[in-house]
Structure 1
Amino acid sequence: MTNTVENKRAEYTAGMESKIAEMDTALQAVQAKFNELEDVKASGKQAVAEMEANKAQLKEEINFVTDLGEGKLLLQQVGEIEKDIELQAIVTQGQAVKIAGELEELFKTFYAVHASAKTFFSVLDKEYVETMSVRTLEEDTAKMSEYASKINTHFGVAGSTLIDAGIVGQGDRFYRTAQTAVHLGQTDLMTMGVNMKREMAKVKYQLNL
């Protein structure tokens, strides 16, 4: 392998590593924002549960009041809690909508980075296949398979998070935005080196190598 080919490989490989790193960052941002959304929902639910418990306690106390003034005060407190419960639901919904909007923007970023990584993978895979030798076949195929696995795994995690966030349904085939539509059931990436290894194994078998 000439220095020119080696340098080109090294340059392309470094580019692929950079794309993988970008995907890591984009997916981590998606997951962090999704966790923030879940925390807001859980916090709001917990707050409502506590207020409901307080309301139930006050209603229980009303059943045993012996003073009109005390009864009115308890009823007033129940009414205030009911208003607080309604307000808490509105606040939680508002926070969730805001964070969900931010989450969608992060999903758009991730899928843009993913598409770029896929394109770069195809270019690098072609370069590896055209320049690999019998000696480098195993190592080159392993490296490209590792890249493919990372890209495929990141895509799968993002898709699961889309479903968990309620942005798409379990059976939806596409995630659509104003700019594009992402096919959620797209075929996994696989390096062409896998087929070359298979063909090489056949040749070795025929030659008893």
Structure 2
Amino acid sequence: AVARRVADRAVIPIENSLGGSIHGNYDLLLRHSLHIIGEIRFAVSHCLLANNGVDLHDLKTVLSHPQALAQCEKSLTKLGLEGEAVANTAVAAKKVAAEKLRDTGALASSSAALLYGLNILASNVQDDSNNVTRFLLLAREPLTPATDTPFKSFQWSLETGRMERPLHIGNRGEDWEGKDQRSRRFTQKNAAKIKTMSSNYLDLIKR
């Protein structure tokens, strides 16, 4: 939508602390010449949802997005439930409610439970309570911050002996290293765009 000028900005998930890299979105980054102008890290909590009158022992299958299933894999195994992938968590909740499924639940948010009239059988079913998804903010044009204002963004850089290293330019100074083939391809494709950071940017990192 951003590349077609239907929207000015896009926010896409790129990796999760449990499920790893979201490969389809790396492919989109490789396919479109958009600029990364920021990032958001969001704590994700999954709920196990089912129709009214359905208990945990009635369930055999759980519907959800592949990433949500990956983030709750151990928990689902302990409960003896099989995961089945659908387009997203909202679709999972909607399908369970619309088809009045009795042996199938959904991994989704508490908001989805309220929206589709489902019961929450279990909350926080992700395998780790520190379940965080990293989102990227994309735009057609790069965003250059004023040198006297702290700004959260990053650029991609290459270092000798390391395939990639996103440099976070802002008041946190954190590093993240992608480890899969898609992240390396993305970095290599965009290496020509990398510019030397000014001393002002370096000052921001140290704050």
User: Do the structures match in fold with TM over 0.5?
Assistant: no
Q: Which has the larger radius of gyration?
A: 1
Provide TM-score, normalisation by structure 1.
0.26
* Greater helix share, structure number: 1
**TM-score w.r.t. structure 2 length?**
0.26
